[in-house]
Amino acid sequence: YSTFEKTGFDLTIQVMMLEKIRIEYNYNSRMFSPETIRRLSRHFINVLREIINDENTNISDIDMLSDEERNEILLDFNNTGSPYQDKETIHGLFEMQAGKAPYNVAAIFEGKRLTYKELNDKANQLARVLRSEGVGRESIVGIMVERSFEMIIGIMAILKAGGAYLPISPDYPEDRIKYMIEDSGAGVLLVKDDTNKEHFITGMGIPIAVINLDNSNLYIGDNTDLEKINQPTDLVYVIYTSGSTGKPKGVMIEHHSLVNRLNWMQKMYPIDKNDTILQKTTYTFDVSVWELFWWAIEGSKVCFLKPGGEKNPGDIIEAVSNNNVTTMHFVPSMLNAFIEYIENIKNPDQLKSLRQVFASGEALRLNHVNRFNRILNDRYGTKLHNLYGPTEATVDVSYFDCSSGEVLDTVPIGKPIDNICLYILDKFRKPQPIGVPGELYISGVGLARGYLNRAELTAERFIPNPFVSGERMYRTGDIVRWMADGNIEYIGRTDHQVKIRGFRIELGEIEAAILMCDGVKEAVVIDIADDHGNKDISAYVVSEKDLDIVDVKKRLSTMLPDFMIPSRILQIEHIPLTQNGKVDRKALLLKDKTPMYAEIEYTAPGNEVEERLEDIWREVLGRDRAGVNSNFFDIGGNSILLIQVQSRIEKYYPGLVSIADLFAYPTIYKLSEYIINKKTDIAKGESVMPQDDGELTDYKETETENTGVDRHYTSGNSDNYAGVKNRCDNAYEDIAIIGISGQFPNAKNLNEFWNNIRNGVECISDFPMSRRLDVENYLQSKNPDISSFNYYKGAYLKEIDKFDHAFFGLSPKEASLMDPNQRLFLQTVWGTIEDAGYGNNKIVGSKTGVYVGYVGETAYRNMVLDIEPSSISIALPGNLNSVIAGRVSYLLDLKGPSILVDTACSSSLVAVHYACMGIIDGECDMAIAGSVKVNLIPVELSEKIGIESIDGKTRTFDDDSSGTVMGEGVAAILLKPLSKAM
């Protein structure tokens, strides 16, 4: 018997003082694996042994690791040594590719193409201009442009001239631009006509040469490669990141570090001349680095997304589709918004060229991975890879494959890349055992040289590596832990650095800026997250006077980039403190949540469009209400949430509202007005207006001389009257059945079913043995004694489990979680379409309605909940009764109505009626009508409902009929106006 008292603890350790000390562990096997417990036991014994050996030892000197585990963590997990092109520079490798295939396409932008030779020639010509301006080895050269050919030409020219490029966003506040130029010591700045900063730059009083890349005179003369003056240890770029002291800091990266990073990426995820990388990341964010150079050293192509397009999923999809993009990157928050957009537009085929997608910049959540794999990996084999790394270690230092098919409980940041070592250490900088959290330190060839002009900070963050003599390691401030397989799990931060939409932000820099605003005495800034994991910034300020949010934000916009300006600023009486005098950041979330901006007086929606928009805003912003005059960005909105708003609006008003429109019309009132007006403007054809006498009068087109047709429309909702006229015109139109399919008891098809009826074949039987085993296994899990269960006699289908998931682009897992009713109906609908001659995707995109008679049941959902509760969040939404029609429309891309009909026994006939009315009303050109019923657990109940047959027979249309018997079946028909069907 067990010596343990039963407790509610997940882990209990009992020490028994026998002849030998005996230690027993009782643990929750759902939380701990046997190996974890064995490891814990070894650590415990090691600690005891060290204390016994020296009872005066300091806690900091106790080492719980065995030599074997220490070697595993320090050596085996970090066995990453690999040869790379350590004697090369980035521009040298690009020149090799330009020499190998000069006429291959290198870059694409807004439909135009640039070959390797053209890019190399222009970069060489510009590099000579830069050298004439004094640019040489390790000169820092600023570049302040939007995505364009000139951007990559300028960057390559800087490297060829011997310098390191310093990316500056034209959208940065002027104070920040001035600081970066002064701090970096840049003597040359590259701009374009559309930069709109030349006047400011020349007026700064800083001796700097400004070169406009739109000047065609820059690209004349000698176009040969320049003399090589760089070493692999020279700087390749300087990127400024947020600084805790209130000023950004420049991170210096060398050529060999970037070459190692790109060589590793090519080894793991090879690309060639047939691949195209989408360059969409802002070049001030270090992820842009591999987008800018990986293709260039491997002979592939890059497609530059148009400026601002990174915020618009529609632009991204268009770029991928038009340019056969195979590789791209997303920050996880944007990836989630992008996937939601795809789900709403229901047209992922435009993304089928994608082979691999990389995510980095912030924590990748499990729901992001599951949604991606369902939408893209299961359909097209597109792989998702999670990357992690700070700017100080050349973009990324670890990787994890999220599309391997492995069932995940969390999304690790993965294992170290080539020539990088990762250490997880405690506060005494001793290695932490597997599973124990510690701070992550990075060592290897990827480390930055340090921070520009910040020797003290460099020494603080880049410290000697105690495990490898002569090496350095970088202290990340990230809390992580080893997993048993050598992957690393991210947990959080040790400080107040956060990642918001991929941007690394020091909250102290924002606090310093707020304190410079007039009237602010104290300020604390924290990051906040909604229920979906979307992060944003919230500021809490103390002031003796009432502050105006507009004034504060205007002032902040002169000091901080847009992504660092808090979306919420709350004025409070005092900053709460903990008992030890530190800011109580948790208490801040419980403070008065009335925003400083004192929301405009609430005005309720006044029409259907406004009501729908308010519902969308409330859902996305997580608010109880959103007045029609409130500005989206003043009540917690941001660019990521704006994408979610746009994708949801797309459901109701397809093609009417773009991301740019949402920026232009940031209130519900203005946006509603825009939508109503645009619907009127794009109305086409003949409309009908009501007259006072109640008759319908055609509202005709007006011909205008030499200008085609000038169509005039009313500002009212003429669509309703057009529908009435369609009904009048079509009311006497015959409807043809042009396709039919089904599965019936004792009949696999319609002909067998008809023969059974004609010949009086008995189709009522016992519950089929082929289905009984699964049901009994389930019932036994609920009640071991199943002898008391009796099954109804009925008209049963024998094969309800055969389903071609791949044909419909579904994963085996997704198909297994679908109710058999839904699987059977989907398969039958396709049989109907093929019977009508509309196979081979001829019906895809058509204005076809779907009308389904379905009296759903919860049996399958309950079975999933009992047998596989971890999947209920996926199974539940997909098996709601209302989904059955919409799923058909979604998977077959049908554009007509999707209607569920539940009128008990008459559901299927009513579905046919509604389908005919949909055609008559002009709501659809064709219509699918059908019904399905499968009884998953046909166990007899003690209660009767009074319509059961006395003798277990059904005699349809017979005076001797005494009732009904349980039946199953699935059928669908495709309807079309007879005149068009002929």
For residue 263, being part of any structural domain is answered with no
Continuous segment of H or E residues that includes residue 253 = strand 249-254
Mean pLDDT throughout 677-698?
46
Among 198, 982, 210, 344, CA closest to 648: 344
- Tell whether 887 is covered by a domain: yes
Same domain for 626 and 557, yes or no, is no
Q: Does the residue 453 lie in any domain?
A: no
Show the tokens assigned to 977: 């106006």
- pLDDT of amino acid 762: 79
Backbone angles phi, psi at 119, to 5 degrees: -65, -45
Q: Which of 218, 237, 253 is the last residue of a domain?
A: 253
| Separation of alpha carbons 557 and 514, rounded Å | 11
Residue 641 domain flag: yes
Q: Which of 220, 253, 286 is the last residue of a domain?
A: 253
**631-to-536, 637, 641, 665, 666 alpha-carbon distances in Å:** 17, 9, 13, 9, 5
Same domain, 677 and 694: no
Query: CATH number, domain at 658?
Result: 1.10.1200.10
How much is the average pLDDT of 703-721?
32
Higher pLDDT, 689 or 532: 532
Has residue 315 been placed in a domain?
no
pLDDT score at 937:
79
Stated pTM of the model:
0.61
Same domain, yes or no: 612 and 534: no
Neighbours of 861 (CB within 10 A): 18
**Closest listed residue to residue 283, CA positions, set 329, 338, 219, 326:** 329
Classified as helix, coil or strand, 405 is coil
Q: Which residue, 492, 536, 541, is CA-closest to 512?
A: 541
Please name the residue ranges forming H helices in 383-526: 455-461, 507-515
How far apart CA 594 and CA 597 sit, in angstroms, is 8
683-721: string of b/e by CB count within 10 Å (b at 16+)? eeeebbeeeeeeeeeebeeeeeeeeeeebeeeeeebeeb
pLDDT digits (tens, 9 = 90+) for 807-848: 777 777 777 778 888 888 988 998 899 888 887 677 888 899
CA 744/CA 117 separation, integer angstroms: 67
Per-residue pLDDT at 532: 59
pLDDT band at 579; cut points 50, 70, 90: low
Domain's final residue, options 588, 619, 649: 588
- Using the structure block, give the residue that is written with the tokens 């055992």: 433
Where in the sequence is the domain holding 44, given as residue range(s)? Answer: 11-64
Average pLDDT, the chain: 84
Per-residue model confidence (pLDDT) at position 715: 30
In-domain check, residue 483? no
Q: Is residue 912 domain-shared with residue 809, that is, in the same domain? A: yes
C-alpha closest to that of 119 among 251, 277, 293? 293
Does one domain contain both 640 and 760? no
SS (H, E, C) 492-526: EECCCEEEECCEEEEHHHHHHHHHCCCCEEEEEEE
Q: What percent of the chain has pLDDT over 90?
A: 41
Measure the CA–CA gap between 553 and 631, rounded to whole angstroms: 14
Q: How many CA atoms lie within 13 A of 551 on its CB side?
A: 9
* 833 and 709, same domain (yes or no): no
What's the token pair of residue 38? 């064995």
Task: Say how many domains are in the chain.
Answer: 6
Nearest alpha carbon to residue 340 among 27, 616, 4: 616
The pLDDT of 897-902, averaged and rounded, is: 90
Instruction: Please identify which residue in the block is written with the tokens 């989630």.
Output: 336
- CATH number of the CATH domain containing 568: 3.30.300.30
Over residues 199-209, the pLDDT tens digits come to 677 677 788 99
From 452-456, 863-867, 871-875, the region with the lowest mean pLDDT: 871-875
Cα–Cα dist 139/209, whole Å: 13
- Does the residue 438 lie in any domain? no
CATH number for the domain harbouring residue 194: 3.40.50.12780
First-residue to last-residue Cα distance in the chain: 82
- Please tell me whether residue 885 adopts helix, strand or coil conformation: helix
Is pLDDT larger for residue 691 or for residue 583? 583
Task: For CA atoms 960, 964, 970, 975, give the dihedral sign.
Answer: positive
Residue length of the chain:
982
Q: How many Å apart are CA 458 and CA 251, to the nearest integer?
A: 10
In a domain, 340, yes or no: no
Q: Does residue 619 share a domain with residue 582?
A: no
**Do 833 and 883 sit in the same domain of this protein?**
yes
Same domain, 568 and 524: yes
Q: What is the pLDDT of residue 1?
A: 37
pLDDT of residue 581: 60
Domain CATH number, residue 888:
3.40.47.10
Please check whether residues 808 and 828 belong to one and the same domain: yes
- Please indicate, yes or no, whether residues 659 and 806 belong to a single structural domain of this protein: no
Rounded CA separation 502/126 (Å): 32
Shared domain for 249 and 101, answered yes or no, is yes
Q: How confident is the model at residue 159 (pLDDT cuts 50, 70, 90)?
A: very high
Q: What's the distance, CA 504 to chain centroid?
A: 19
